[in-house]
Amino acid sequence: MKKYTRRQTLKTLGGAATAAMVPSSLLTAARAFAEMSPWKPEKGASIRMLRWKRFVASEGESTEALLKAFTQATGVNIRLDSEGFEDLRPKAAVAASIGSGPDIIWTIHADPHLYPNAMLDMSDVADYLGNKYGGWYPIAKDYSIRKGQWISLPYTFSGNFLNYRISQVKKAGFSSFPANTDDFLTLMTELNKAGTPGGFALGNASGDGNCWAHWVLWSHGGKMVDSNDNLVLNSPETVAGLEYVAKLGETFIPGVASWLDGHNNKAFLQGACSVTNNGISIYAAAVREGMSNIANDMDHAYWPTGPAGVPTEFHVQFPMTVYNHTKYPNACKALLAWLMEAEQYDKFMEASVGYLSHPLKAYDNNPVWTADAKRRVFKDTVTRSRTFAHAGSLGYAAASAFADFIVVNMVAEAAIGTKTPAEAAKDAHRRAERYYKI
């Protein structure tokens, strides 16, 4: 079996993407955009941009090519740096606090709601793009609008679905991936008995841990707050979800208690894990590295429906944020508008091979969704996802509780058995009171 190290994973998935060449057609498009753009970059403008580490190499290469084309067409120099989620989020918060640092941060989830006053109003760019490209999906607006103002641009989403080994699921007695939580628990139990267990991140994983923990809470009718933002986390529904998690946790591969984003990729690619949640980056890595034994034997599925009776999925948003402290607001706006124009965004989506999906309705028919049947579920990311604030409003309290990993820690405690489900719900509720004043 091929060993797949963390270093190799990052390299394969684009953590060290090389400088991309700019095709002449792309440069021609950039020059045409510069001529017609409503936003003219300031004289001598330069932009410092920070993003999360790439998980798909071709996406990173495509993004770099788009930035280089913009620079050559406008003269605006762009410095692009990248960080892992664990370092990116605190750096974004520091930049907001001190009013200095990167001009643009391509960040995760709804972090701009933690420091909305530090964000540049992007309403003009959002209106321009929405009017031109069929309008924004509702969840994109939910994430980016605060008090009528666009405090971020909902650049892209990343579907976080079930990744599974087809042969092992069939050996466990299932002809297709389970569509409900009861059958899902049965599957996980049988996989564990067969020595091919699944597993989910239980550490403070910004992406994978949050996505699956919120799914299991919501699937049983639990939620952090009600529609009036009243704290209701310690409820019979939450406890029921945690009782389910306690049973599910017994089936997990050893070591998940410390898993962060990336650990499940490694375990799956090494053949140690048969089911996990992730974007399409595991599959993309397997295809890119010629690991046909895994690529041909894996697929993706929607999250099972639980007692709540409806899909209860949570997927990752990656917004572009521009800080008020930038000296070059027009250059920043022009750049983000350029990136989301159809000719560029289509290229970006195709290079993302399904890992990143669109928030504008005009991009529904991008060929990325039909080029490979194993990408199909990812097309529905924006129509199946809730914000983490469900069922309340997305603001400072929700963003703060989310950033504190309250739901993730609660689920982890129940899954590992360090607390009973009732104790985990009660303690999580108490922690949330810090943000939702009662």
Please give the full DSSP string across 365-401, using - where no structure is assigned.
T-GGGTS-GGGGGGGGHHHHBPPTTTTS--SHHHHHH
* 3 band by pLDDT with thresholds 50, 70 and 90: very low
Q: 386 in a domain, yes or no?
A: no
Structure tokens at 370: 């039909």
* 259 band by pLDDT with thresholds 50, 70 and 90: very high
Q: Give phi and psi for 34, each to the nearest 5.
A: -60, -35
pLDDT of 15 over the 70 cut: no
pLDDT of 6 over the 50 cut: no
Which pLDDT belongs to residue 207? 92
* 350 band by pLDDT with thresholds 50, 70 and 90: very high
**Are residues 292 and 347 both part of a single domain?**
no
The answer for residues whose C-beta is within 8 angstroms of residue 16's C-beta and 6 or more apart is: 10
Among residues 356, 371, 386, the one where a domain terminates is 371
**Are residues 127 and 239 both part of a single domain?**
no
* 12 band by pLDDT with thresholds 50, 70 and 90: very low
Q: What is the CATH number of the domain that holds 37?
A: 3.40.190.10
- Percentage of the chain beyond pLDDT 70 is 95
Cα separation values, 414 from 120, 245, 258, Å: 41, 6, 15
**Are residues 78 and 139 both part of a single domain?**
yes
Average pLDDT score over residue span 284-305: 97
Structure tokens at 339: 């990136």
Which pLDDT belongs to residue 13? 34
Residue 239 sits in which domain range?
161-314+394-432
| 99 dihedral zone (left: phi>0; alpha: psi -120 to 50; beta) | left
Cβ density class 4-43: b for 16+ within 10 Å, e for less = beeebbbebbbbebeebebeeebbebbeebbeebebebbe
**Are residues 271 and 401 both part of a single domain?**
yes
**Are residues 142 and 177 both part of a single domain?**
no
Which pLDDT belongs to residue 18? 35
pLDDT of 396 over the 70 cut: yes
When the pLDDT of each residue in the chain is averaged and rounded to a whole number, the result is: 93
Which pLDDT belongs to residue 438? 60
Q: 384 in a domain, yes or no?
A: no
Which pLDDT belongs to residue 55? 85
Q: 129 in a domain, yes or no?
A: yes
pLDDT of 242 over the 70 cut: yes
Q: 381 in a domain, yes or no?
A: no
Average pLDDT score over residue span 387-401: 95
Average pLDDT score over residue span 200-212: 95
Average pLDDT score over residue span 19-45: 90
Summarize pLDDT for 247-258 with one digit per residue, the tens.
999 999 999 999
* 17 band by pLDDT with thresholds 50, 70 and 90: very low
Q: 209 in a domain, yes or no?
A: yes
**Are residues 50 and 145 both part of a single domain?**
yes
**Are residues 12 and 128 both part of a single domain?**
yes
Q: The whole model's pTM is what?
A: 0.91
Average pLDDT score over residue span 324-349: 97
Q: 379 in a domain, yes or no?
A: no
Cβ density class 175-193: b for 16+ within 10 Å, e for less = eebbeebeebbbbbbbbbe
Q: 389 in a domain, yes or no?
A: no
**Are residues 205 and 256 both part of a single domain?**
yes
* 230 band by pLDDT with thresholds 50, 70 and 90: very high
Summarize pLDDT for 36-71 with one digit per residue, the tens.
999 999 999 999 999 999 888 899 999 999 999 999
**Are residues 122 and 242 both part of a single domain?**
no
Which pLDDT belongs to residue 16? 32
**Are residues 406 and 287 both part of a single domain?**
yes
Q: 188 in a domain, yes or no?
A: yes
Q: Count up the domains in the chain and report the number.
A: 2
**Are residues 299 and 408 both part of a single domain?**
yes
**Are residues 366 and 341 both part of a single domain?**
yes
